[in-house]
Amino acid sequence: MGPPGAGKGTQATRLADALSVPAISTGDIFRSNVAAGTPLGVQAQRYMNAGEYVPDSVTDAMLEARLDEPEAANGWLLDGYPRTVGQVAALEAVLEARSHRLNAVLVLTVDEEELVQRLAKRALTEGRADDTEEVIRRRQEVYRAQTAPLLESYEKRGLLTTVPGSGPVAKVTESLFEALSLSATRQP
């Protein structure tokens, strides 16, 4: 978890590779559906371009289907999900039905000005439709209003570890690994 621009995608890929599990990014799944012009992509696109969240009903169904793919049978790392109270509940239900559980919730933190600068830079290299200044600001607001409050419930469950996301990419990955091993020792 963490605000847009914190480095979730980059770090999720690195951690997942090292752990030999898939990194499942709801943002990437939406973007590939938009690119392919699927009905899901058509539905998601207007929300994404406005910096708003895609409705839970759409997102939850997509995530559940992805978790049922054979590649995800031995574990996974979620990038950018859950992001709403409803998604937290949906994820719990999905895990419970499969007798799975969360091992850890990792949050990357970066201060807001740096986030905006990073995303503005990414706009030049990746050309994402939602990396314009206005939409970047809106995405930060939506994160603060809808996603940041979720951290408390994971904190209460002893699952949450916050890791600073500034500095060299490899250093952040290292800190995440340390956080994961600490979290493993906290498990009952």
Catalytic residues: 8, 83, 122, 128, 139
Q: Which residue number, 7 or 51, has a Cβ lying nearer to ligand AMP?
A: 51
Q: Which residue number, 46 or 186, has a Cβ lying nearer to ligand AMP?
A: 46
Q: Which residue number, 48 or 163, has a Cβ lying nearer to ligand AMP?
A: 48
How many whole angstroms separate alpha carbon 115 and alpha carbon 152?
Answer: 22
What number of chain residues touch ligand AMP (CB under 6 A)? 16
How many whole angstroms separate alpha carbon 119 and alpha carbon 123?
Answer: 6
- Residue 18 carries which side chain, given as an amino acid letter? A
Site for ligand AMP in 122-141 (CB under 6 A): 130, 139
The residues with which 78 forms a beta bridge, in sequence order, are 24
CB of 40 to ligand AMP, least distance (A): 12
Q: Are strands 160-164 and 23-25 parallel, antiparallel or unpaired?
A: unpaired
Closest residue to ligand AMP: CB criterion: 27
How many whole angstroms separate alpha carbon 158 and alpha carbon 180?
Answer: 12
> H helices within 39-84, ranges in order?
39-50, 56-67
Instruction: Out of 3, 12, 30, 183, point to the residue binding ligand AMP (CB under 6 A).
Output: 30
Q: Does 47 bind ligand AMP (CB under 6 A)?
A: yes
Whether the CB-CB separation of 173 and 15 falls below 8 Å is answered with yes
Q: Is 144 helix (H, G, I), strand (E, B) or coil?
A: helix
Interaction mask 60-99, ligand AMP, x per CB under 6 A: --------------------xx-x---x------------
Q: Is 166 exposed, middle or buried (0-12, 13-18, 19+ CB in 10 A)?
A: middle
Q: Does 177 bind ligand AMP (CB under 6 A)?
A: no
Q: Which residue number, 100 or 138, has a Cβ lying nearer to ligand AMP?
A: 138
- For ligand AMP, the binding residues (CB under 6 A) are 4, 26-27, 30, 47-48, 51, 53-54, 59, 80-81, 83, 87, 130, 139
